[in-house]
Chain A
């Protein structure tokens, strides 16, 4: 689903990362990609072919909303905002991810 340079992403986590990023405030597509890249120390790089389909999907599911605004450099850009439903979904996915991740780590330490 998501094709990531350098490091492949655990399936389904792209939505989680986008929603989490948006909790910091409205952001445009490039901003979201940059945020993920920076905070992952450039391990996770998301191209447009993964990012924008994901954003469309989140919008269709009602978890994000978008509006056109002026960016700081005075260009027209589309900003995405997380909705209440999106926050709820984020809670679910974060919990589920943490649980799964802890489980995997326990197994990896087991032998």
Chain B
């Protein structure tokens, strides 16, 4: 029936003043009735006055809206009446919905939200790798990049960028920050929108301009919008601040605070001529970002770039021979390593939700069973089956939404804890919030949950056969065979869900344990780590760099409590400055693209001993190994294992970046690529023979590593008042921070595992206990007939544990088949780890047994008289 606007308004008006209209109608109908009675011969039916009134009142209602409102009010009355039940359901749901909402807020901010660049799916990262080692991705050189740029027509722009660290000096205090040094086109290719101002322009490649991060803006400039146009002194050179980037802008990673140009490289010429980083094809210091032209796919761009690169290999066989170009979407590259872990956690959270839904479904089923009479009476009084089902649905939806509200509150609290514990290297973590998409997700999940657990009682719990129910006089109508079957099914599902979560948690925990107990090859305890930068015009000469580092180290060793100090360009557990190809002198030269590579670490004497990296054969560096002495090298045990299987390497020679070096020792394997990463060969060379403008100091001290901050500053300043130093960091903290991501995952999955265990045991207890209640009279009769208690217990246990065993089998099969998705997250454990697959079912089985035993034991103590009379 169509309704005009005018009529709709009239209805709304009537709806609002329904109470008054209703009174008037009562008067009107009473008057009508009195006249009717006067005019009607006695004995004739006059019709149902109440029915007539309801029919008329319906004219003031808003149809479905009013009906739903009525359902909701009735539902809330019913739920209030049964407060214990309602609270149990809401708490159970809050756990499931809360866990999902909290995890979703992270997944949404980190994985789902588009990257803050223009058309981010068109952006690719371009890298080169030796033909023989396609996963060994490397940046490229600036001349190569310029050649690609000139010839690559299938790209809408290509640009390179290098990383650098700058000392920040000024009234705001000393600090250090990581920067991007970009070729002119980078920021056009990226297409990011600054919060304030702009990014460096294409014509500013040789201009000291910089855009700063939101974090730096807040920390250093207190969010002052007048910062644009101000000077920022970066490693003694003034730069003009031209822009501020928004929070969550992490190109290419969360540790970058400055986006600048090639100015700092161009303005630092070498001893004789321009900076080699601008001219050399062998210095591969530039990562490459490109934007695909419309209609071009990543593979076709890769093929075209390879054609260019292979042409370059003909002209420059030494530098470009044996290399392939690889492209990867920027999104993939930014989120690799994060995505799998987050999706795993999200999957576990989803299973927790299913578990809580199953528990709630059982609670509802029990409750519907005890309400069969109420429902049957309502039907007998004329309610349609659909109407009653709608009422049950309204209760489910209301429960779902209440659980959702409690879940959101829980998620809000949980998220604060999560963010404090979360690894800081997860990109865009500061965008995590209970925002609109998260709320929408929570509400959707609540409604889906309501549909899931609401279906059970609607289908199974109430047959709808009014007569049978009313005749049964409430003798537990749902105790029928199919009610029992439904509950067994719920138990099976519950156990299956729980075991999948627990297997995942067990594997990740085992892996984390392996990780923390793995050998890192050094003793981080009592080591303070600091950075020293000897860049700028004063330190152009190699001698000056070496001398300054030596003087600073001498001053540091004089600090009370310091027992050893050394410096090198790389630092465990994750800081690698350079990787170089090498060859063993006397062996046939490898094909281009097939050279072995090693982490190349210029180090001072005492660097290895300070870190307690043992030099097993040969000797450590000492003062003899200066710039004029014979070039020497200490190799790592892993390199010796790969290339000197049957001979003592000491005395042999390596050719590394054009220099032939004599091997003088073999050092233990220390980690530079992170805890748990496969070992890679390392070469240590004397710092004096290969100086570098930036080093890490390893300082062994008997005091707390952070306590020497003041003396450290003095040690630097006495050499040169312009040498800046950040606060010293304890190496053991750096090591433990480097595994914060696996720790976070292990921690989250443990919580979910514990939740799963609790939910499953509560659920199993509930099912068995309810089964016992239903069978009380039967059990009573058995006991009265002389059945021993043991047999009663075992009867109940058997009924309770059968579905558990089935669930165990199904869950194990699913976990076994699905555990492969965890492979990338695990260290030292296979996805089908025997211990985990044996221990987890045992734990779950034992827990289930206890949960089932408690009501079973109670059943054996049933007083037969009370049990039989109780009905």
Residue positions of A touching B, CB distance < 8 A = 28-30, 33-34, 47-50, 52-53, 56-57, 59-62, 68, 71, 75-78
Smallest distance from the beta carbon of A2 to chain B beta carbons, Å?
11
Q: Could you give, for residues 11-32 of chain B, a 1 whenever the CB lies within 8 Å of some chain A CB and a 0 otherwise?
A: 1001000000000110111011
Chain B's closest residue to A61 (CB) is B7
User: In the complex, A60 Cα to B59 Cα: how many Å?
Assistant: 9
Name B829-855 residues within 8 Å CB distance of A: none
Given contacts A56-B56, A56-B59, 13 further A-B contacts (CB under 8 A): A28-B32, A29-B28, A30-B31, A48-B49, A50-B55, A52-B29, A52-B52, A56-B14, A57-B59, A60-B14, A60-B59, A71-B31, A78-B28
User: In the complex, A85 Cα to B7 Cα: how many Å?
Assistant: 13
Please judge, given known A-B contacts A48-B47, A60-B14, whether A53 and B58 are in contact too, CB under 8 Å: yes
Smallest distance from the beta carbon of A107 to chain B beta carbons, Å?
27
Taking the complex as formed, is B224 at the interface, i.e. its CB lies under 8 A from any CB of chain A? no
6 closest A-B pairs by beta carbon, nearest first, are A60-B10, A56-B59, A48-B52, A49-B52, A52-B56, A49-B55
Residues of A within 8 A of B6 (CB): 61-62
Interface size class of B (residues with CB under 8 A): 20 to 34
- Pairs across A and B, CB under 8 Å, 18 listed: A28-B31, A29-B32, A30-B31, A30-B35, A48-B29, A48-B33, A48-B52, A49-B55, A49-B56, A52-B25, A52-B55, A53-B56, A56-B14, A59-B10, A60-B11, A60-B14, A75-B31, A75-B34
Smallest distance from the beta carbon of A5 to chain B beta carbons, Å?
9
Smallest distance from the beta carbon of A37 to chain B beta carbons, Å?
10
Q: Check if B10 sits within 8 Å of A48, measured CB to CB.
A: no
Q: Check if A53 sits within 8 Å of B59, measured CB to CB.
A: yes
User: In the complex, A59 Cα to B51 Cα: how many Å?
Assistant: 21
User: In the complex, A76 Cα to B28 Cα: how many Å?
Assistant: 9
Taking the complex as formed, is B336 at the interface, i.e. its CB lies under 8 A from any CB of chain A? no
Name B757-816 residues within 8 Å CB distance of A: none
Taking the complex as formed, is B4 at the interface, i.e. its CB lies under 8 A from any CB of chain A? yes
Smallest distance from the beta carbon of B8 to chain A beta carbons, Å?
9
Residue positions of B touching A, CB distance < 8 A = 4, 6-7, 10-11, 14, 24-25, 27-29, 31-36, 39, 47, 49, 51-52, 55-56, 58-60
Chain A binding surface SS class: helix
Smallest distance from the beta carbon of B576 to chain A beta carbons, Å?
80
User: In the complex, A57 Cα to B10 Cα: how many Å?
Assistant: 9
User: In the complex, A62 Cα to B33 Cα: how many Å?
Assistant: 26
Q: Check if A78 sits within 8 Å of B49, measured CB to CB.
A: no
User: In the complex, A34 Cα to B31 Cα: how many Å?
Assistant: 14
Q: Check if A49 sits within 8 Å of B59, measured CB to CB.
A: no
User: In the complex, A52 Cα to B35 Cα: how many Å?
Assistant: 15
Chain A's closest residue to B56 (CB) is A52
Smallest distance from the beta carbon of B352 to chain A beta carbons, Å?
51
User: Which of A49, A68, A71, A75 has the largest number of chain B CB atoms within 10 A?
Assistant: A49
Residues of B within 8 A of A59 (CB): 10
Q: Check if B51 sits within 8 Å of A49, measured CB to CB.
A: yes
Chain A's closest residue to B39 (CB) is A34
Q: Check if A61 sits within 8 Å of B4, measured CB to CB.
A: yes
Residues of B within 8 A of A52 (CB): 25, 28-29, 52, 55-56
Q: Check if B59 sits within 8 Å of A47, measured CB to CB.
A: no
Q: Check if B47 sits within 8 Å of A47, measured CB to CB.
A: yes
User: In the complex, A71 Cα to B27 Cα: how many Å?
Assistant: 13
User: In the complex, A59 Cα to B60 Cα: how many Å?
Assistant: 11
Residues of A within 8 A of B29 (CB): 48, 52
Q: Check if B32 sits within 8 Å of A48, measured CB to CB.
A: yes
Residues of A within 8 A of B10 (CB): 59-62
